[in-house]
Amino acid sequence: MTVKWARGGPDLLVVLDRGAGPLGAQIQDQLRAVIRDRRLSAGERLPSTRQLAGLLGVSRGTIVEVYEQLLAEGYVESAVGSGTRVAALPTSAGFTVDAVAPASPPPVEIDFEYGIPDLGSVPLADWSWAVSEATRTLPTAQLGDEDVAGSRHLREVVTSYHRRVRSGVAGADDAVIVSGFRQGLTFALAALTQRGIRRIALENPGPRDHDVIARRAGLEAVPVAVDDQGLDVAGLRETGARAVLLTPAHQCPTGVALGPARRRELIAWAEEVDGVILEDDYDAEFRYDRQPVGSLQGLNPERVIALGSVSKTLAPAIRLGWVLAPPRFLPGIVDEKRLSSRGAPGLDQEALALLMETGRFDRHLRRVREIYRARRDVLAAEVEVAFGPGQLHGLAAGCHALLHLPAGSSELEVVAAAATMGVRVNGLGHYLVEGSAPEAFPPALVLGFGNVSENQVRRGIRAIAEAHTMSVPCPPTSPRNSEVTRQ
């Protein structure tokens, strides 16, 4: 894509040797070279003759002659009011040619990707207000390097919110502000290794890439099964792990909530093995059947590291999150942040604090919760028509659900067939810990409905049903039936 520079764009590097011949010829040669080498893209605006003359310390007439010569040779094109632009050169005569791009897949018209909120509902006006207010009110002294743990104001707001809405018990001194969930997880895992923990248990199936992130942190990742009550704590005990990462409020991708008995078992396990629970609290705000379940951090703050972000409540592009950690892990997390990143921009942190503190964040959540509820209801109705009752699970909360396919179905074939119809969807196998046997899990699809309209939900489910029909092999024709057909 060509950058549309305003008023000719930034300066252009041309090096002149005033003792090496005519300056105009040097400028022509260098401009030809950068255009041939595609360092300037076709359609990209060149500096005005006045701008380039001033930059190089030559007369404007010299630059006019240079541009006229390049125009005559076909290197540039010019139009009144449009300035001088790089011409599109032929892909022959020794010019550098970009590699031929592979054939593009069909465009995605309906995207059931998990984890994407309704991007059309992001409260941009409120965010703009918050950024403007933060810019206006933030003291000059706070425009320098902040506390490594992050904005004190945001840490106070986030932990207060967590105590009120998620039944947590963390205070500002227990919080570290990070650039999203994954950065927070990376820092937390590094802190675990500093404390001698070498093995971490992961939900299987579970969120993508958690196993990769764990291994990169130097931990051995071991899978633990998930059933209709959440993580199998008995299975966890057998792994020998001293840490576990899970999504207890709305398990990804099955959608189940960790049951009360399992919560107690999990806390007891952590006490027995001197372990730690990493809680991915990613979409607990969106619950439809009852009030959100409380955070595990509130049950035992000495054994739980809670990680949250606004990627699924606001938008991934805002890239702000937090880690609420026990005191023994905080120094390691803060040190990792200090050495690898200064974190998110301070103005954005202040803006988020204002957005939450003034009630605009909660107002947004109430509005999109109803949008998601309506989409969920449409999804359930369409799936029941297409696949029958009882096939859709995990609808009590969040923005995704799990569709169990009929026995014998091929996830991969359904996903591929749906893609040919412009529908993107992932199979359950996409969420298995590396090394798991996909055939050991029933075929299913993970349907994210956060960023699809109700009409897209209807069309998408009908397309998936058609894709499933296409993927099911026809039963072989018996000889007897063949004879009847011939008759």
Band of residue 486 on the pLDDT scale cut at 50, 70, 90: very low
Cβ atoms within 10 Å, residue 467: 21
Pick the CATH number of 121-360 from 3.40.50.410, 3.40.640.10, 3.40.50.1820, 3.40.50.11540: 3.40.640.10
Mean per-residue pLDDT, 424-447: 91
| Helix or strand holding residue 55 (H, E) | helix 49-56
State the Rg of the chain over Cα.
29
- As a whole number of angstroms, the distance between CA 342 and CA 465 comes to 48
Chain position carrying tokens 């020998």: 240
- Out of 186-190, 327-331, 343-347, least confident range: 343-347
Q: Is the pLDDT of residue 92 over 60?
A: no
pLDDT tens-digit series, residues 15-58: 888 888 888 888 888 888 888 888 888 888 888 888 888 888 88
Which contiguous run of DSSP H or E holds residue 277?
A: strand 276-280
69-100: b (≥16 Cβ within 10 Å) or e: bbeeeebbbeeeeebbbbbebeeeeeeeeeee
Average pLDDT, the chain: 88
Q: Are strands 304-309 and 321-324 parallel, antiparallel or unpaired?
A: antiparallel
Burial of 445 (0-12, 13-18, 19+ CB in 10 A): buried
State the pLDDT at residue 93.
45
User: What DSSP letter does each residue of 312-337 carry, written as one string?
Assistant: TTT-GGG--EEEE--TTTHHHHHHHH
CATH code 3.40.50.300 for 6-86: no
DSSP calls for 219-245: PEEEEEEEETTEE-HHHHHHHT-SEEE
pLDDT at position 156 is 97
**Chain centroid, CA 433 distance in Å:** 19
Per DSSP, the three-state class of 111 is: strand
Confidence of residue 136 (pLDDT cuts 50, 70, 90): very high
C-alpha 271, offset from chain centre = 34
Owner of token pair 């105009």: 24
Got the DSSP string for 388-433?
A: -TT-EE-TTBSSEEEEEPPTT--HHHHHHHHHHTTEE-EEGGGGSP
Mean predicted confidence (pLDDT) in 105-113: 90
Stretch 346-357: mean pLDDT: 96
Distance, CA of 157 to CA of 396 (rounded, Å): 28
Whole-number pLDDT of residue 481: 42
Burial (Cβ within 10 Å: 0-12, 13-18, ≥19) of residue 13: exposed
State the average pLDDT over residues 78-93.
74
Tell me, what amino acid is at 427? Answer: G
* pTM (predicted TM-score): 0.84
Run of H or E residues at 480 = helix 479-486
Q: H or E segment at 306?
A: strand 304-309
pLDDT of residue 90: 74
Q: What percent of the chain has pLDDT above 70?
A: 91
Q: Domain map of the chain by residue range? A: 6-86, 121-360, 363-471
User: What is the rounded (10 degree) CA torsion for 76, 78, 81, 83?
Assistant: 30
The pLDDT, as a whole number, for residue 478 is 46
Mean pLDDT computed over 467-478 = 68
Closest CA to 466 of 409, 402, 417: 417
Enter the tokens of residue 157: 């707001």
Q: What is the CATH number of domain 363-471?
A: 3.90.1150.10
> Is residue 479 scored above 70 in pLDDT?
no
Q: 4 phi and psi, to 5 degrees? A: -95, 80
Minimum mean pLDDT range among 184-188, 267-271, 285-289: 285-289
Average pLDDT of the segment spanning 396-408? 92
Rounded mean pLDDT of 243-249? 95
What average pLDDT does range 80-94 have in this prediction? 72
Return d(Cα 466, Cα 461) in angstroms, integer. 9
Task: Write down the pLDDT at residue 91.
Answer: 63
Reference 361, options 138, 113, 161; nearest CA is 161
- Is residue 297 within 8 Å of 159, Cβ to Cβ? no
Q: What are the tens digits of pLDDT across the range 205-234?
A: 999 899 999 999 999 999 999 999 999 999
Q: Residue 103's CB: how many other CB atoms inside 10 A?
A: 5
The span from the CA of 371 to the CA of 369, in Å, is 5
Rounded CA separation 472/239 (Å): 38
